Amino acid sequence: MDSQAVPKASAAVVTPARIGVSLLFLMNGFMIGAWAPKIPEFAERLGLSESTLGLMILTFGLGSIVMMPLAGMQIARFGSSRVSKISALLLTPTLLLLTWVGGIWSGAVAIFLFGGLIGAMDVAMNANAVAVEKSMRRAIMSSCHAFWSLGGLIGSSTGGFLIDHMGVGAHAVLVTVVAALMILASWKIVFHDAPHPDEAAEGRGARLPRSPLPWLIGIMALFCMVPEGAVLDWGALYMRSELGASVTLSGLAYAAFSLTMAVMRFAGDLIRDRFGAVMTLRACVVIAIFGMLLIGFAENTSVAIAGFALAGIGISNIVPICFSAAGNLPGMAAGVGLSVVTTMGYSGILVAPSGIGFIAEHTGLASIFAGLSALLVVVLFLSSLARHADNAHH
């Protein structure tokens, strides 16, 4: 790579490689979005209380945290395009499994696989997006994450309605077919990157970075992904059990959040180029704090949905900025910083929501959504670290 001339920013803003990786993000988000409105029915079918549902959600998270580092090693051996495609293929039938399991143990195995493959694919497609960014010499990370949110929006906003009208089984079959079509469309055009065997060799004696920077940025990612995970896993249940919403209406909690998040992420790369990463991040965090407080203090469903929409605007560009900053830390290989920050960040979306189930049995979900705004205050204090994200273009 170094021996060749560095490519100029490609004139084409939309290339096949960019469409390919965007389709992967779309499919991954779609699978998670389709799962969100299924959670109340899944809990009912297996007879789960809030704390046992919390344990199931923890199992989903553990699946991801086990498979993410494994995916990282496979990316070094085989390249991100191969790992993305294989994990996407394996992920496709998992929603059917979750729909057909009848017992707690088979449910736990299914949700572990679902979480693990979501996580493996997540690492691989983010690595592929970084490779596409480098080949195009322009920021595409926010828009890739926008496609993920768009997938979540399509999956969650249609999910409640389709489950109501078609039944759980037919909905799962439909989702599986749509996901398979997305993979088919992307198969030939995903950016083919060479494996990085040197990174695999380094990985064997992998030392955790000594610099505090990736860990601090990891805390930022973690503290804004905990609220995101709370909205995904508990939003629909909060709307149903504490605000008395219908199944269709309760699906709109995550849908409102995904919609504003997707819109803001499509604009994110432009906003960041205009105002810089630090300013963008600070504005986002303040909006997110207001959103979480609004959800927690909502008297009715429409105020809550407005809160979910605001939280989506706020949280939208914090994560892509943290990832960009992690991949551009001075004197550190992009993969090293990224692996610390992605694992810490995703543990927020994956593991923390299970703890919420235990607390919710004692306090209710409203106070939890309000309380999560405290984590975002910490992100505000660390916001100057986002300046490293601006190194990406220089």
Higher pLDDT residue, 157 or 200?
157
pLDDT of the residue at 334: 63
Q: Per-residue b/e over 171-186, b at no fewer than 16 CB within 10 Å? A: bbeebbebbeebbeeb
Instruction: Please provide residue 191's backbone torsions phi and psi, each rounded to the nearest 5 degrees.
Output: -60, 120
Amino acid at residue number 352:
A
Q: Is the pLDDT of residue 88 over 90?
A: yes
Higher pLDDT residue, 17 or 325?
17
Which of 224, 262, 233 lies closest to 345 in space, CA to CA? 224
Q: Is the pLDDT of residue 7 over 50?
A: no
Task: Work out the percent of the chain whose per-residue pLDDT is above 70.
Answer: 92
Q: How far apart are CA 350 and CA 347, in angstroms?
A: 5
Structure tokens that stand for 82 in this block: 């191969």
Structure tokens that stand for 181 in this block: 């079509």
* Cα dihedral 127→128→132→135 (10° resolution): 70
Structure tokens that stand for 140 in this block: 């595409």
Which of 328, 333, 294, 298 lies closest to 311 in space, CA to CA? 294
Higher pLDDT residue, 198 or 34?
34
Amino acid at residue number 32:
I
Q: How far apart are CA 27 and CA 77, in angstroms?
A: 24
Q: Is the pLDDT of residue 233 over 50?
A: yes
Higher pLDDT residue, 324 or 375?
375
pLDDT of the residue at 390: 77
Instruction: Report the pLDDT averaged over residues 292-318.
Output: 95
Q: How far apart are CA 211 and CA 56, in angstroms?
A: 35
- Reported pTM: 0.81
